[in-house]
Amino acid sequence: MMKEIRHEPVAPTRTQRLASGGEIDTHRHDDHQIVYASQGAIAVTTDAGSWIAPATRALWIPAGTVHRHQAHGELDLHLVGLPVTENPLDLDTPAVLTVSPLLRELIVAYTRAPDDNSPPHLRLRAVMLDQLRTSPEQPLHLPTPTSPLLRELHEILRADPADNRSLDEIGRQIGASARTLSRHLHDGLGLTYPQWRTQVRLHHALILLADNTPVSTVALRCGWSSASTFIDVFRRTFGHTPGSRPTT
């Protein structure tokens, strides 16, 4: 029997603690929502794929999106609900957004007093929305494969992100040529194999880092040849090194 999807008419604005591995079950709400973890990393999964955000990123969840949350590391979660008529990002699909130090403090401050309708708090909200409008979208979406071949390939990489075999070698394992798999990746996901594998590895790296795994261990487990190579890829993707954390 299909599990019933919980419906929340109003997306909550609040702070919440989640233990590592904790989940918020599949649900949807009629409002938009900003999801931000000031500590740890938060993952959001829909039928279209998954998005993960460390403390320098936030997640945009449009109204009506069926999704679930999972915590990686001890999580300080900040949720901001926005009416469906208010879309500062003009986005109708989930996205990962850059969180500047100023936006971080605005979100944290706003969610500490969600029921405060005083003029100062409303002005804080207005500045937060202005900052959101200028927050760049980040390409951190890991799309869900739709073809059976890509799902099998995804399971192999998810089980061992450090698998460095060529696409031709993995193809022999699952009974498909590298050309066929490349075509499926291009047509179904719009990515090359190296691009997709890097996305899988970065998602896994964020999860390990949220659990305070040493950077050198993360690099090894995720298939990079050295810690310095991993740090370089991470910095180019996220704008900071994997060992750095935003100030509280």
The mean predicted confidence, pLDDT, of the chain is: 89
From 141, 156, 187, give the residue that closes a domain: 141
* Amino acid in the structure at residue 65: T
Q: Please tell me the total number of residues recorded for the chain in this structure.
A: 248
On whether both 25 and 93 belong to a single domain, the answer is yes
* Boundary of a domain, candidates 99, 119, 141: 141
> Quick one: average pLDDT of 206-230?
92
Contact assessment for residue 241 and residue 232, using Cβ atoms and an 8 Å cutoff: no
pLDDT tens-digit series, residues 52-94:
888 889 999 999 999 999 999 888 999 999 999 988 888 888 9
Reported as a pLDDT band with limits 50, 70 and 90, residue 238 is confident
DSSP H helices in 134-226: 148-159, 167-174, 178-189, 193-210, 215-221
Which pair of tokens denotes residue 207? Answer: 């999860």
Residue 155 has pLDDT above 70, yes or no: yes
Quote the percentage of the chain above a pLDDT of 70: 96
Give me the residues paired with residue 93 across strands.
none
Q: Is 97 helix (H, G, I), strand (E, B) or coil?
A: strand
The tens digit of pLDDT for each residue in 21-51 reads: 888 999 999 999 999 999 889 999 988 888 8
CA distance 122 to 120: 5
Do 12 and 40 fall within a single domain?
yes
The pLDDT score that the predictor gives to residue 237 is 83
Residues 89 and 185 grouped into a single domain:
no
Q: Which domain holds residue 226?
A: 147-238
Per residue in 158-190, pLDDT (tens digit) is 899 999 999 999 999 999 999 999 999 998 888
For residues 144 and 231, give the distance between their C-alpha atoms in angstroms, rounded to a whole number: 26
**33 and 53 belong to one structural domain:** yes
For residue 144, what are its two tokens?
A: 């869900």
Q: Kindly report the backbone phi and psi dihedral angles of residue 137, in degrees, each rounded to the nearest multiple of 5, phi listed first.
A: -80, 140
User: Do 88 and 181 fall into the same domain?
Assistant: no
In a shared domain, residues 157 and 92? no
Short-list 113, 143, 140, 142, CA closest to 125:
113
Angle at 164 between CA 160 and CA 169, to 5 degrees: 105
